[in-house]
Structure formats: C-alpha cells, structure tokens
Amino acid sequence: MPGVSYPRSWRTVLILLALAAVAAGCATRPMGEGPRVEERGAGAEPPPLLRDDVPAADLAPISPLLRAQAEQWRGVPYRLGGNDRQGIDCSAFVQVTFQSRLGIQVPRTTDELARQGRRVGRDELRAGDLVFFKTGFRQRHVGIYMGGDRFLHASTSRGVMTSSLNNVYWRRHYWKARRLDLDERPSAVSLSDESR
C-alpha cells in the first residue's frame, strides 16, 4: 500500500502494546474482559460493604480501623496511578490505608508490596494481612484482609469496596498473602481520618 511505512507502524504497535501492559499492572481483571461474576449477580444489587456475621475470632484491634477506612472510601473510583479521592489504584489504596490508619509507610507498587513481610497461608489470614491475586499474565492486584473471608480493595470497575475471598473470581485468581509487622504501629490512630 503506497504511503504506509511498515517499520513505523510496527514501532507504534509495539509502543501501544507496552503501554497497555504497564497500564494493566494493577488491574483486577484482564483488559477487555466483561464484568466479573461478582458484579453481575441476580438482582444486580451490590454486595454489602461489610458482613455483620464476622466471627469474633476474626476480629482484631485493627478491624475497627479497616472498617472506618472502608466506610470513608467506599465507592471512590479506580484510577490507575491515582492516590486520592478523585481516583485511586489498588496499591495506592493499600499505601494510603496503612499510612493514614496505622501510621506505617509501605511501598507504592503491588510488586514491591508482594515482597514485604512474611508469607502466610490462606488458612492463617488475620485482619491487616495483604492478599494478592494474579488476574492476568502480568497483572497483579492487592487488597487488605478484614476477617470473615472479606478483603478491602480498589476494584477497577466499582472503586473502593470489600469482596469475598470465596467469590468464584477471587478464589480462582488468589495468589498469596503477606503479613506485615503491625506490632510496632502507633497504639492510638484516629478512627476519623481528620487529615482528609
């Protein structure tokens, strides 16, 4: 075809593919995939933010802090690279939560978070543990375990919310969990995020 430069168009395609791969790094589902099973249930009613039937054994001192964060940030939209209420991605939400609620600095990216603390089995999860998912070939997602098989995260399609680890989608993509040392956190971090 006259006027078409194949080397330039191949370069453009490669650049676009590289950008798409980088943009999908924190996606909760592979790009182009339709709504998850979790999001299209009968009645299209969103799942409850938190369950009231969390067993007492799953409650921890960090639980009220995570519940307050969930209530305060619920519905904030997902935005890749975002780190505020205008839009936030999954790893930034973890970073903001640990900083504002626990006074603990954690890394900004999912890959860095996946190397923090120590690995724990799914049957050993405690509130405050980080849960990780492999949602595509190079895509990773992170959330904060809350107890009762629920975790708090920034979903690409519904923003900040809680989800069940027993959901078909999340159970299939579950990768691992890491426990950070929370024993050194300040003992009195405000439940009301006054800085926001």
Q: Which residue ranges form the domains of the chain, and what is each CATH number?
A: 29-179 (3.90.1720.10)
The Cα 162–Cα 146 span in angstroms is: 9
Active site (annotated) includes residue 90: yes
Q: What is the pLDDT of residues 118-149, one digit of tens each?
A: 999 999 999 999 999 999 989 999 999 999 99
The Cβ of residue 119 has, within 10 Å, a number of other Cβ atoms equal to 10
The pTM of the full predicted model, rounded to 2 decimals, is: 0.70
What mean pLDDT is predicted for residues 37-48? 38
Active site (annotated) includes residue 153: yes
The Cβ of residue 29 has, within 10 Å, a number of other Cβ atoms equal to 22
72: pLDDT strictly greater than 80: yes
Look at 10-24, 39-53, 70-84, 89-103 and tell me which has the smallest mean pLDDT.
Answer: 39-53
* 163 exposure class (CB count in 10 Å sphere: 0-12, 13-18, 19+): buried
Sign of CA pseudo-dihedral 136, 30, 48, 185? positive
Estimate the crossing angle of helix 63-73 against helix 90-102, to 10 degrees: 130
Percentage of the chain exceeding pLDDT 70: 63
What mean pLDDT is predicted for residues 161-185? 91
- Chain-centroid distance of CA 181 in Å reads 19
158: pLDDT strictly greater than 50: yes
Active site (annotated) includes residue 141: yes
The angle at the Cα of 157, spanning 45 to 23, to the nearest 5 degrees, equals 170
Q: Which of 36, 141, 150, 173 is catalytic?
A: 141
Q: Which of 24, 90, 114, 180 is catalytic?
A: 90
